[in-house]
Chains A and B, each alone.
Chain A
Amino acid sequence: MKALFYPAINLMGRLRYAHKFLLLGLLALGAVVLLQVNLYQALDRVIEPSREELLGLEAMVRLNRTIQLVQHDRGLAAGFLAGNKLLAQRQQAKAAEVDAAFLRLAEALPPEVLAAARWREVSGDWRALRQFGLEWPQQTNTLRHEQLIAKMLTLASDVADASALTLDPDIASYYLMDVIVKLPFFTERLGQTRAFGAAILARKVVTEAERLQMASLLGHTRIARDLQTANLEKVVNYNPALRGVLGSLDQNVDAGMRIALGMAQDDIIDARFGISSEQYIEQFTNLIDQIYAGGSEVLAPALRDHIERRIDKARTGLAWIVVLSALACALFAYLAVGIFLALTGQIQGVLHTLRTLSDDSAERAQLVEAIAAGDLSREVHEPPALEMGGLAARRDEIGALVGAIAAMSAAQQSLGRGFARMARTLRLHRDEERQQDWAKSGINALNIELRGERALPELTQAVVSFLTRHVGGAVGALYLHDAGRQELVLAASHAYTTGTAPRRQFAAGEGWAGSAVRSGAIEVLSPVPPGYLDVASALGQAGPAAVAAVPLMHNGELVGLVEIGTFGEFDAPRLAWLRQAAEAVAVAVGVEHARRRVANLLEQTQVQTEELLVQQEELQQSNEELEERAQLLEQQREVIRQKSAESEQASRELRRKADELERISAYKSEFLANMSHELRTPLNSMLILSSLLQQNKEGKLSGKQVEYAATINGAGKDLLNLINDILDLSKIEAGHVTLELENVALGDMASQLQALFQPLAEHQGLALHIALAAGAPAQLRTDGQRLLQILKNLLANAVKFTAQGRVGLDVRVCQAAEAGGQGRTGEALAFAVSDTGVGVAPEQHERIFHAFQQADGSTSRKFGGTGLGLSISRQLARRMGGEITVSSAPGAGSIFTLYLPLDAGAVPAAPPPAPDTARAPAIAGFAVPAGAQPGAAARASAMAMAMEDDRELVLPEYRCILIVEDDLSFARILRDTVREHGFQAIVACDGEDGLALAERYRPNAILLDVMLPHIDGWGVMRSIKDNPATRHIPVHFITCLEDRQKAMGLGAIGFITKPVSAQQLDEVLDSIGAAIARTDKRLLVVEDDEAEAMSVAALLETDGLDISIARSGGAALALLAQGRYDCMVLDLGLSDMSGFELLDRLRDSACAPQMPVIVHSGRSLNEVDEARLRRYADSIIVKGAKSPERLVGEVSLFLHLVESSLPQDQQKMIRRALDKEAMFEQRKVLLVDDDIRNIFSLSSVLAEKGMHIVEAGNGAEALAQLQAHPDIDIVLMDIMMPEMDGFEAMRRIRREPRWARLPIIALTAKAMLGDQKQCLDAGASDYLAKPVDLDKLFSLMRVWLYQAGEVA
């Protein structure tokens, strides 16, 4: 319910009480005024119709009068027109009377009626009657009058309606009104009767119709009279006051009625005509007038009175209401003011009380705040008793409120008293605490000052400043005790002025402070004598009042002393505090001392720990590495194990292949055996015929021809011998030899041999000695023929290869094991054939027994023979269960020993021997004699698949080319081509073999493939170049790979790519031939100092190097013009021209374009010189202790690079032709690099492209160059440079707006992501990793130059 009032409460809550009451009063007053106005209006509504009624009544009365007059006029007019001329005058007077009545009527008529049509009609009709009425016949006149009257009657009802006469609310006045309104109707009936009757009477004739009409009129009149009478009765009933007047009036009218009506009945209807028309009219007129008079004189005034009374009554009521309500308002206002004054007065009282209370509370709250904030200085008052006055006695709510406030005030008062007490107590406590706080916070602050690791000077400074400030001192000084010197030394001071600087040090016990130190207690000097010490500020100075000396003791030991001077006295708390503080300071200083010692120790330890850690890390790391090594070794061992398994497998394979070959060999031997027979047949006839020719029996042949025939015969015999031997050997190898065992008498055999070889030996001047040892058996069971064949062969060889000395055969018994054969036991017979001939190198011992071995061509030509003898002998010996061994050394003669079992039949013959090689017989070295010479160096190759080549024939005077190629068919082509070009060819099928052969045979050149098993061509190349023995050998690559650059880089002399045409091969071999032809490299030493020149020449002198010396630049140029040199060593200081000049001239004359130049100079070179030299010289050596060594190295390096430069240059020329690009031509490039070689190599490449090159050695130079050459199109910027690096340079370039779009390509050696980003951030347009890939560089330059062109 209360919620409903919230808006009102809200509104009221905002208003002061005076306004509240004013608002309420205004509202009440408004209500009263509203009520009064309404009431007034209501009463006015009652009065207004009554007034209208009065007006309407007046109009009605006048209308009735007018009607009365018109009726009169009708009657007069009718009489006149009917013939009574007497009436004319009366009628005229009457008409004028009517005119006046109309005028009066018009004044009284209500406006709406006046404005209506009916009134105009009525007044129009009357005007017509007035003007023309007398000219009309009587009937017409009467009729028009009647019509007029009828209209006027209607007008009367209009008036009644307009003035609401018929609606009168008062029943008394209603009937009055009704009578008055209906009065004309009644009189009209009378009037009509009058007029009708008057006319008849005037005529004195009456028709039946007129009688009837007259009768009807009379009837109507009577009825009207009855109605009037009834109404009048009602009027009387409601207005009893009128009864008397009306009664008499009514009686008069009734009497007049009776007379008049009797007249009409008698005189007219009954046609007596007893009366004149005047009389008749008179009678009726009187009656009518009487009636009208009654109406206007009785009824109308009565009605008027009635209405006026009613109006008065209403007015009175209205006055009462106004007065009463005004009174009520006044009372209300009075009471309201009273309430307001009473309420505000009370509230003011309460408010005042409360204000007093709240002021008091606020004051106290401020005090509490102040106390809480620590301000205890304010005085605390007890609150005064509260004056309540009479308010407390009041019984209303205010009284209760005041009571409550009084109780509160009492509580407040006691609270105030307690509070005052509390404040006093607090003040006491606070003073105590402040004292303690000062001491404690001082100690705390001191501790804070002492805390932390601070060096002693800082610490003491902080301490002395703090102590002095804290005790309110003016000056202070802190001395530290130096235990070593037994002195106190000033460590820090506070506020000392220069004039009063304290003493730097003093001894304990010295002076007053010293005594304080000795006593260990604080001493105070007060008062201080004037001039003892001054304390100065900027404004002035004064002496302190007291000085305290505070010794610092730690663990009973003196640490130092603090002296403080103050302007005031030292009170007890301060001294106590100083004592406390002194302890803390002493401890801190002591601790600081200790800490410094510890820190020093710790630092040392840390450094050592760090070092130890790193060392440990390194040790650990190297341990791990050792472990890794061990693992690696283990892996290698494993690999070796695998390899040995593999090789075992391979050897098994080999053995299998050997078996196969053996079979093949057997077929071959059989074939040979058959073939030999076939060969011998034609040979026979040739021998015979040539022999015949030689005899020249017919003498027809010339001597020359005979000689030819002899040669043919001799050759034929040789061939026959060879064939026989081949046949023999193949028979043995094919196992076709059967031994015919017999007992051979050794003595017989010896003498037989003696006889056979004696002449031969004698012919060569040799001694022949054949002897049987003492223990030798007389005979031997073996195949005698074969034994003899072997011995003959051995002896023939011995004789053949022995130029002088002796040849001998010794037969002795020996142990079978001596023969070297496995599983042999028992005794054997040894036939040792010894000689003093050329001998055989030990490594050749096995080889000479092999069939078809190539041998030294010269040897074969020298000694002749088929070279199959030893082979056959050994095969035979083995067949007989024996063996042949050789023991020989070059130049020491040879001993071939044939061991035979005593009984060949008892010993199983050796299996048919394995053929020694599988080499095709077609290229067999026919000339190899048994007991071949050691000159033919060859490896006993176990390479079963090796290709036939010339390795056995290699001779020093022949040029030899090593082919390293694993594709056998291509190797064969190469071999053949090589041979066609007059070289010997050695073929290796893999890298290892190639390396071994290269080292063994030192070929003149090497053709090298890259794709090789095991070691590839690159590896072979490196090894060749690493080996001092082989590095001079030119190597030409023939490979399917395209890496020409690499090959040339490794020092190859040439490079062609497979497949190659025969023509290409020819060219290659021609160039090799040319290269080899120049066996000697030519070196030019240009040096004006003779001794130096000689020493350089001596230093560089090696086999195959032809050194020329030029002692002047001119001489050097002359020499260079004459012939080609492979390398030049140049001293810069020449007598006739400088080295630079020489180099310039050399370059200009182009006589030695590709020759490497090594500058060997004692001059120290600056960068400019070096840069200049770098254009020509390939290497610069500054003379010094180690320069000879380097010179040798560089010279050998360049001499072997000579060949490589040619194809490179050709390539360059081709590239130059292709690379001429419009984009690069005439463009200017700035090369920024600190490495002159880089600049040189890049600039030469760029120059080939037609670019102009500007160089800079670091960032600063680059900037300078850019300034000097504003038309630079592109910059190539190295990053790592001295002075100003590339990053900085690029940043600076980009700072200049005109270079904002200059393309800069950064050259960086780093691959890190950040580095490249850094390049771009620094302003590089792009970047390129080093080492520079030229193709990439050109691509980049195309991109950036293109852009630059577009922009330009």
Chain B
Amino acid sequence: MNEQDIVELEIGLLVSAVKQAHGYDFSGYASASLTRRLVAWLGKSGFDSFGAATSALLRDALLCRALVEDVTVNVSDMFRDPPFFKALREEVLPHLRTYPHARIWVAGCAGGEEVMSLAILLREEGMDQQCRIYATDLNESVLERARQGMFELRDMQRYTKNYQLAGGCAAFSDYYVARYGRALFDPALLRNVVFAAHNLATDADFSEMQLILCRNVMIYFKPALKERLLSLFDGCLTPGGFLCLGTKETLDQRAIAPRYREMAAPVRIYRKQYAAGAQA
């Protein structure tokens, strides 16, 4: 048994321990990526080995939170992939407008950049009172960050550019106040946003959604978990609803693919077909 095998074994034990002790299930995460992130975490944490870290994790909920924070990828941009948001604005929102109240799920919302982008989009389209956004992530601390609606000033130039590329028609600066190296966004933007902790690997779905955004989350998962995730989304998406994935993610070869039609080819927006009687 060489060192690498041992590390793999230890990681398996760690993952199982974290799952049993704290409910965070990383067993469905793509192992290469998970290993890279765990190794990076271990280097930072000061433990000699995963074995030692596991034993500490079992007893220390705070340490576990730190681990979750480090292991999950929490980097995002506002209006990331501007063509996507452009397509969202042009192709998807007109459909959502036909619902008196539309429900949107941002699964894996991380620091809330995407939620904020979406909220801005909805306000500009005059739909902010008509839509409720459910923003979930398994990482409580990033949720807390997301709730504040505050972002680093240094990123704002990039965001502004993204916003413009995404078809933004107003002055981006109308939405925030910049001070002390931070940009605080209008809290009213988040009035219709419900932030909640939700673990895509273990938890059940919400009730019916018209739009689900889960971008650049699935790439970190193993195929089985991807399937679970997609069937979760499929289960709560109403017929005619939209599923948005990251640019590197696709529904090809997935079990739910036949019920979905790709809307705007390069940006991975899928629409659930009306065919199946999903009213059950």
Contact = CB atoms under 8 A, between A and B. Distances in A.
Contact of B277 (A1201, A1330, A1331): A1201
A1181 B98 contact: yes
B253 interface: yes
Nearest to A1178: B279
Nearest to A1049: B280
Contacts of B30: 621, 624-625
A1046 interface: yes
Interface string A1151-1184: 0000000000000110101100000001011111
Given A1025-B275, A1031-B275, A1282-B192, A624 B207 contact: no
Contacts of A1184: 94, 97-98
Interface in B172-222: 191-194, 196-199, 202-208, 216, 219-220
A1330 B207 contact: yes
A1164 B100 contact: yes
A1186 B23 contact: no
B36 A1022 contact: no
Interface string B35-48: 01000000000000
Interface stretch (A191-199, A555-563, A1231-1239): A1231-1239
Max chain B Cβ within 10 angstroms of own Cβ: one of A622, A629, A1186: A1186
Contacts of A1026: 258-259, 273, 275-276
B33 interface: yes
A527 B226 CA distance: 84
Contacts of B75: 610-611, 614
A1280 B203 CA distance: 13
Given A607-B155, A1309-B206, A1310-B203, A1186 B97 contact: yes
Given A1022-B276, A1050-B280, A1197-B277, A618 B207 contact: no
Contacts of B95: 1186, 1189-1190
A1190 B277 contact: no
A1182 B219 contact: no
A789 B49 CA distance: 94
Given A1165-B101, A1182-B98, A1311-B202, 4 more contacts: A1026-B258, A1046-B280, A1050-B277, A1193-B240
14 contacts: A607-B154, A611-B75, A624-B33, A1049-B280, A1050-B276, A1182-B99, A1185-B97, A1186-B95, A1187-B98, A1280-B206, A1282-B132, A1309-B203, A1310-B197, A1311-B23
What secondary structure prevails in chain A residues at the interface with B?
helix
A1204 B279 CA distance: 11
Contacts of A1204: 277
Interface in A1018-1032: 1022, 1025-1028, 1031
A1045 B220 CA distance: 35
Contacts of B194: 1234, 1280-1282, 1285
A430 B130 CA distance: 82
Contact of A628 (B205, B223, B276): B223
Contacts of B97: 1182, 1184-1187
A1329 B204 contact: yes
A35 interface: no
Given A1031-B275, A1197-B279, A1315 B197 contact: yes
Nearest to B205: A1309
Given A1050-B280, A1184-B94, A1310-B199, A1330 B239 contact: no
A624 B193 CA distance: 34
A632 to B, nearest CB: 7
Given A1186-B95, A1311-B203, A1045 B275 contact: no
Given A610-B75, A1167-B101, A1182-B98, A629 B253 contact: yes
A839 B167 CA distance: 62
What secondary structure prevails in chain B residues at the interface with A?
loop
Contact of A620 (B33, B223, B258): B33
Contacts of A742: none
Interface in B118-171: 130, 132, 134, 154-155
A745 B154 CA distance: 104
Contacts of B155: 607
A611 B77 CA distance: 10
Contacts of A1297: none
Nearest to A1329: B204
Contact of B36 (A617, A625, A1234, A1330): A617
A1051 B202 contact: no
Interface string A1195-1208: 01100110010000
Nearest to A1241: B207
Contact of A1170 (B100, B253, B273, B274): B100
B247 to A, nearest CB: 9
Contacts of B223: 628
Contacts of A1022: 259, 276
A618 B77 CA distance: 14
A1046 B205 CA distance: 18
A1314 interface: yes
B33 A621 contact: yes
Interface in B15-73: 22-24, 30, 32-33, 36, 73
A1167 B132 CA distance: 12
Interface in A979-1026: 1022, 1025-1026
Interface in B229-280: 239-240, 246, 248, 253, 258-259, 273-277, 279-280
A335 to B, nearest CB: 87
Contacts of A1181: 98-99
A11 interface: no
Contact of B134 (A1200, A1280, A1330): A1280
A1089 interface: no
A396 interface: no
Contacts of A1031: 275
Contacts of B198: 1309-1310
A1341 B192 CA distance: 31
Nearest to A1258: B194
A1222 to B, nearest CB: 31
Contacts of A1170: 100-101
B267 to A, nearest CB: 16
B32 A1238 contact: no
Nearest to A1235: B207
Contacts of A1045: 280
A85 B191 CA distance: 172
Given A1050-B280, A1234-B132, A1313-B22, A617 B33 contact: yes
A1164 B33 CA distance: 47
Interface in A1022-1055: 1022, 1025-1028, 1031, 1045-1046, 1048-1051
B23 A1314 contact: yes
A75 to B, nearest CB: 136
B47 to A, nearest CB: 22
Nearest to A1156: B279
Contacts of B216: 618
A295 to B, nearest CB: 125
Interface in A1042-1079: 1045-1046, 1048-1051
Contacts of B199: 1310-1312
Nearest to A1233: B207
B204 A614 contact: no
A604 B95 CA distance: 40
Interface string B90-112: 00001101111101000000000
Contacts of B134: 1280
A1193 B276 contact: no
A687 interface: no
A1310 B202 CA distance: 8
Ranked 5 nearest A-B pairs via Cβ: A1049-B280, A1051-B277, A1193-B274, A1312-B23, A1313-B23
Contacts of A1331: 204-205, 207
A168 interface: no
A235 interface: no
Nearest to B216: A618
B239 A1193 contact: yes
